Structure 1
Amino acid sequence: MIVDEIGTRIFTRRGLDWTAIPRPGRRIEVTRLDSAIIDGEIIVLNDAGLSDFAALRKAITRRQHDLYFVAFDLLHLNGHD
């Protein structure tokens, strides 16, 4: 995820723009950040509340409302690594 003067955007590791995911039509808002690079992943939870890769593959094309962005590393924040 990149936060800068343009806004908040999500890119895949291959550089595809997935800004509309996890919630198409709903903007991801990050407050109190001038700029940031946040590493994370898109997941889908199963009935037990665990990440389910098989469900993720289906949800990308059929159930985008089930997708969540989970952040796990702050690589850059307001000009600092």
Structure 2
Amino acid sequence: MLDGEAVVQLPDGRDDFHALRSAAGARNAMLMAFDLLELDGRDLRALPLEERRAELRRLVEAGPVDGVAFVDAMDDDGEALFRHACRLEFEGIISKRRDSPYRSGRSPHWLKSRCPNYVRVL
């Protein structure tokens, strides 16, 4: 079982959420996978994020699956990364502790930072 987000990517790499709602866009959608919660019936949620992501990377690279992409983590300066995400008109960034287990809902180990000028139109 994967955790990720379905997106339609524009040629410049940005996501087009409006295209995802159309039939044509849905056919071009892909899953940006960023966590692995279960594998072969084994619950991985208690493992540290870093271990779950290493296993996810191995799976995706071993047998590429159409429409699924592994999302790399970035260990950069968080403030600079956030400013860059906002300049690109992204929704924001999510900062996660590498040693954190998976928790449904909110977690003190994961911080979502939204860009102040981001507007999601439904």
TM-score when normalising by structure 1? 0.43
TM-score scaled by length of structure 2 = 0.30
Flag the structure with higher strand content: 1
Larger Rg: 2
Bigger relative CO (Cα 8 Å, ≥ 6 apart): 1
